[in-house]
């Protein structure tokens, strides 16, 4: 059990300031306005945490009352990790769109702003109240119904950050359809594979997209390419975002604005079972094609809603901004479902941090008086590098809580965030979680948990993290390190990999029986604080985007002349991790600018521009064991330029390969 006490003396010495450095680099919450926080002391955290672990079903039953149920559940949970069987709120009935819209209108908050949409161009923004949003959701829901969408059908959403994306998501849950959002930077090939894996019936996309200096991202054109080979798609709904000329395929494509104009404004929400699928979201693993992570309705919504309120200390009149893209889980849980189920005002940002200049984030904070700001360390590093003048002229006094997600945050950017952005008056919540977990699992509570730069600190209520040895033994006690696993379930946990339950079991539950294995390593310090050390598998984290090495290798392998490729990560100043590709060419093929270009374009075609290698080394051979397995450990060392501590290479079939790789590590 954690026993860090609130530092009362520090608090009075440091009046008005929220955080303050104390010895051991620990920062203590200490401002007057935090006394009204939902959880306002470490003692209270400890008390609730203990209760949640002792009686999980009782705890999660009381939490679930925060949302509206048509019928309450018969049983809180039914979980067996040995069978990969996970159910929460059994036989409970609800509708997620009702909980995110109608409920707030019924309670008199229909005129409250639900979404503030901030366009890529600073002169463009729009506000939607809860009532306005509901009308739009009902209309497009009726359009989907008229196109033949029924409960359980999959609908693919391939869009940039435009309001219609959130509206389409909520429309899907209103009628029981399962959305699968595909990040707008993915290529046509990636889109095609995702559509086919879950046999989506409808695709919703937009003409073209705008993002930073790019003002014509060919969304519809990419979609058309993907759709040459997607037998399950019946219709395409196209949002007019930029108005540029695009081709419409007659009999297949319809315009969003034309279809919705006369669509009915009546659309009753469908009663859904707790365990009815809510959405699929593809994520990369260490092997094979991306997995369709499936989340269900009841448990996911309860968890997203509760964590959003407690971890961001969200209060009724707050303006909350998460800068993620909805194409990733962070956007699903903490732009759409968490905030909207709480009746919050949530900002949706179409642009990027450096357009029109490096002050954009802070302009938006000032313009909309943002109270909670949630972003990725990679964005902070990129902005920190540009100096403080972009921040100093901005009024950031509305900020109360700062958050980070996606990758470990290191001390320099943590301190910059605290001092330059938070003015030492905003706690930082470093939130650790995954697509699979549905919501945040390890994080400080802003007014309760003393923070240490770089540590995600302590488990959220009801979360039971453990560290395992390679043999699967639980490592007890503090001051230790191991593989991060979860011993018990929580309502937001994924339920299966779409269409492949065996893979679900194999990926997460087979290596260590009775645990959910995260794929991350972690340290636990003397105070019981968790420090995530990163993935222990072959998953890369590039600017907070999750990419499997196998996917990149596959894409490189498709370029002409390539015999074999191995991809590893290396430390990158801005991206956190960069992609280093080792490529062996076919006999008789020489490395050239042309082959380099064709490899890059193959990656862009197969995956998308975000998966482009940062460095490429052409190598005569790759280091392999006698059984033919590539020894990535060695490649990682070379990529990290840490060649003095290569470790044991005696198991290599040909140890001389290593020497030539080191010699050849002059990178393009």
Q: Which H or E element spans position 372?
A: strand 372-375
Give the Cβ contact number of residue 661 at 10 Å: 21
406 near ligand 7RM, rule: CB under 6 A: yes
Among 407, 538, 553, 606, binds ligand 7RM (CB under 6 A): 407
Is the Cα dihedral 379, 382, 385, 390 positive or negative?
negative
Stretch that binds ligand 7RM, among 70-78, 356-364, 433-441, 624-632 (CB under 6 A): 433-441
Q: Please, are residues 4 and 527 in contact by the beta-carbon 8 Å criterion?
A: yes
Lookup: tokens for 347? 């900002």
How far apart CA 48 and CA 328 sit, in angstroms, is 30
At closest approach, how far in Å is the CB of 230 from ligand 7RM?
Answer: 25
| # chain residues binding ligand 7RM, by CB under 6 A | 23
Lookup: tokens for 551? 């996917």
Among 206, 208, 330, 346, binds ligand 7RM (CB under 6 A): 330
Q: 359 or 491: whose CB is closer to ligand 7RM? A: 491
Nearest to 667 by CA among 594, 603, 614: 614
Stretch that binds ligand 7RM, among 2-10, 262-270, 326-334, 411-419 (CB under 6 A): 326-334
Catalogue the E-assigned strands of 406-561: 428-431, 465-468, 480-486, 496-497, 516-524, 530-535, 539-542, 545-548
DSSP secondary structure of 341-369: HTT-EEEEE-S-TTSSSTTHHHHHHHHHT
520 near ligand 7RM, rule: CB under 6 A: yes
Among 159, 329, 445, 552, binds ligand 7RM (CB under 6 A): 329
How far apart CA 129 and CA 360 sit, in angstroms, is 24
Q: 546 or 624: whose CB is closer to ligand 7RM? A: 546
Q: 202 or 329: whose CB is closer to ligand 7RM? A: 329
Site string for ligand 7RM, 274-293 (x = CB under 6 A): ---------x----------
164 near ligand 7RM, rule: CB under 6 A: no
Q: 157 or 203: whose CB is closer to ligand 7RM? A: 157
Q: 140 or 429: whose CB is closer to ligand 7RM? A: 429
Among 120, 435, 449, 549, binds ligand 7RM (CB under 6 A): 435
Catalogue the E-assigned strands of 457-589: 465-468, 480-486, 496-497, 516-524, 530-535, 539-542, 545-548, 562-572, 576-585
Say how many Å lie between the first and final Cα of the chain, rounded. 50
Helix axes of 632-639 and 656-663: crossing angle, nearest 10 degrees: 20
325 near ligand 7RM, rule: CB under 6 A: no
Residues 535-554 that bind ligand 7RM (CB under 6 A): 535, 541, 546
Nearest to 658 by CA among 636, 635, 641: 635
At closest approach, how far in Å is the CB of 612 from ligand 7RM?
Answer: 18
433 near ligand 7RM, rule: CB under 6 A: yes
491 near ligand 7RM, rule: CB under 6 A: no
166 near ligand 7RM, rule: CB under 6 A: no
519 near ligand 7RM, rule: CB under 6 A: yes
CA 28 to chain centre: 28
531 near ligand 7RM, rule: CB under 6 A: no
Q: 273 or 325: whose CB is closer to ligand 7RM? A: 325
At closest approach, how far in Å is the CB of 578 from ligand 7RM?
Answer: 16
DSSP secondary structure of 61-126: HHHHTTS--SB--SEEEEEEGGGTEEEEEET-EE-HHIIIIIHHIIIIITTSEEEEEE-SSTT-EE
- Residues facing residue 630 across a β-bridge: 624
Site string for ligand 7RM, 84-123 (x = CB under 6 A): ----------------------------------------
Q: 171 or 483: whose CB is closer to ligand 7RM? A: 483
Q: 129 or 435: whose CB is closer to ligand 7RM? A: 435
455 near ligand 7RM, rule: CB under 6 A: no
Site string for ligand 7RM, 559-578 (x = CB under 6 A): --------------------
At closest approach, how far in Å is the CB of 78 from ligand 7RM?
Answer: 25
How far apart CA 334 and CA 166 sit, in angstroms, is 12
Q: 407 or 606: whose CB is closer to ligand 7RM? A: 407
Q: 528 or 534: whose CB is closer to ligand 7RM? A: 534
Q: 351 or 406: whose CB is closer to ligand 7RM? A: 406
- Residues facing residue 532 across a β-bridge: 522
Among 188, 202, 466, 532, binds ligand 7RM (CB under 6 A): 532
Stretch that binds ligand 7RM, among 105-113, 156-164, 174-182, 325-333 (CB under 6 A): 325-333
Give the Cβ contact number of residue 384 at 10 Å: 21
Catalogue the E-assigned strands of 170-307: 178-181, 202-206, 209-211, 214-217, 235-239, 253-255, 272-273, 277-283, 291-296
Among 196, 232, 287, 434, binds ligand 7RM (CB under 6 A): 434
405 near ligand 7RM, rule: CB under 6 A: yes
Residues 6+ apart with CB under 8 A from 139: 260, 263, 264, 265, 267
How far apart CA 129 and CA 80 sit, in angstroms, is 42
Nearest to 100 by CA among 128, 60, 75, 59: 128
183 near ligand 7RM, rule: CB under 6 A: no
Q: 339 or 406: whose CB is closer to ligand 7RM? A: 406
At closest approach, how far in Å is the CB of 511 from ligand 7RM?
Answer: 15
CA 566 to chain centre: 26
Give the Cβ contact number of residue 366 at 10 Å: 17
Stretch that binds ligand 7RM, among 260-268, 351-359, 424-432, 588-596 (CB under 6 A): 424-432
At closest approach, how far in Å is the CB of 409 from ligand 7RM?
Answer: 7
Residues in the chain: 668
Lookup: tokens for 521? 């390593």
343 near ligand 7RM, rule: CB under 6 A: no
DSSP-derived 3-state class of residue 503: helix
Among 161, 456, 581, 600, binds ligand 7RM (CB under 6 A): 456
At closest approach, how far in Å is the CB of 250 from ligand 7RM?
Answer: 39
Which residues make up the interface to ligand 7RM (CB under 6 A)? 283, 328-330, 405-408, 430-435, 456, 518-520, 532, 534-535, 541, 546
């Amino acid at each position: 059990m954690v026993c860090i006490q609130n530092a009362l003396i520090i608090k009075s010495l440091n009046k008005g300031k929220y955080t303050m450095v104390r010895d051991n680099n620990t920062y203590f919450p200490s401002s007057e306005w935090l006394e009204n926080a939902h959880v306002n002391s470490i003692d209270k955290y400890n008390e609730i945490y203990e209760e949640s672990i002792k009686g999980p079903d009782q705890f999660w039953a009381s939490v679930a009352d925060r949302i509206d149920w048509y019928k309450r559940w018969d049983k809180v949970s039914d979980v067996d990790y040995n069978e990969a069987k996970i159910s929460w709120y059994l036989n409970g009935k609800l509708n997620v769109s009702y909980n995110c819209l109608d409920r707030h209108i019924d309670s008199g908050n229909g005129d409250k702003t639900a979404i503030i949409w901030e366009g890529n161009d600073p002169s463009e923004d729009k506000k939607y109240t809860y009532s306005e949003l509901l009308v739009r959701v009902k209309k497009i829901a009726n359009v989907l119904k008229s196109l033949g969408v029924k409960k359980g059908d999959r609908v693919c959403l391939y869009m940039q950050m435009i309001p219609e994306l959130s509206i389409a998501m909520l429309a899907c849950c209103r009628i029981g359809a399962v959305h699968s959002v595909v990040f707008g930077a993915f290529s046509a090939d990636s889109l095609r594979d995702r559509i086919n894996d879950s046999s989506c019936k409808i695709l919703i996309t937009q003409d073209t997209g705008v993002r930073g200096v790019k003002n014509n991202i060919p969304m519809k054109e990419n979609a058309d390419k993907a759709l040459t080979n997607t037998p399950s798609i019946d219709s395409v709904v196209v949002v007019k975002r930029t108005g540029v000329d695009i081709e419409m395929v007659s009999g297949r494509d319809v315009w969003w604005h034309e279809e919705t104009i006369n669509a009915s404004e009546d659309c009753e929400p469908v009663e859904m079972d707790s365990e009815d699928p809510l959405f699929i979201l593809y994520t990369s693993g260490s092997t094979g094609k991306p997995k369709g992570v499936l989340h269900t309705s009841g448990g996911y919504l309860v968890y997203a809603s509760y964590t959003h309120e407690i971890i961001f200390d969200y209060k009724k009149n707050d303006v909350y901004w998460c800068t993620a893209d909805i194409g990733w889980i962070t956007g699903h849980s903490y732009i759409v479902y968490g905030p909207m189920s709480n009746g919050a005002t949530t900002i949706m940002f179409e642009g990027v941090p450096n357009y029109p200049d490096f002050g954009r984030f802070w302009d938006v904070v000032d313009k909309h008086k943002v109270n909670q700001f949630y972003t990725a360390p990679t964005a902070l590093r990129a902005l920190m590098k540009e100096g403080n003048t972009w921040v100093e002229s901005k009024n950031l006094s509305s900020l109360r809580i700062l958050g980070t997600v996606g990758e470990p945050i290191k001390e320099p950017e943590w301190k910059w965030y605290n001092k330059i952005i938070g003015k030492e008056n905003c706690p930082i919540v470093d939130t650790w979680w995954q697509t699979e977990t549905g919501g945040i699992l390890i994080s400080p509570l802003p007014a309760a948990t003393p923070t240490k730069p770089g540590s995600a600190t302590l488990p959220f209520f009801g979360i039971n993290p453990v560290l395992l040895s390679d043999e699967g033994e639980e490592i007890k006690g503090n001051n230790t390190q191991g593989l991060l696993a979860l011993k018990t379930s929580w309502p937001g946990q994924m339920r299966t990999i779409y269409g492949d339950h065996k893979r679900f079991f194999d990926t997460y539950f087979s290596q260590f029986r009775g645990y959910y294995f995260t794929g991350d390593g972690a340290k636990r310090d003397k105070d019981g604080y968790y420090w995530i050390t990163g993935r222990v598998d072959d998953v890369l984290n590039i600017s907070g985007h999750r990419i499997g090495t196998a996917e990149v290798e596959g894409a490189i392998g498709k370029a002409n002349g390539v015999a074999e490729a191995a991809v590893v990560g290396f430390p990158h100043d801005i991206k956190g991790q960069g992609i280093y590709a080792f490529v062996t060419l076919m006999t008789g093929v020489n490395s050239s600018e042309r082959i380099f270009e064709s490899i890059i374009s193959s990656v862009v075609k197969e995956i998308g521009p975000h998966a482009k290698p940062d460095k490429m080394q052409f190598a005569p051979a790759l280091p392999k064991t006698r059984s033919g397995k590539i020894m990535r450990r060695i490649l990682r060392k070379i990529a990290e330029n840490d060649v003095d501590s290569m470790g044991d290479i005696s198991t290599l079939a040909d140890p001389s390969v290593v020497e030539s790789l080191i010699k050849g590590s002059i990178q393009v």
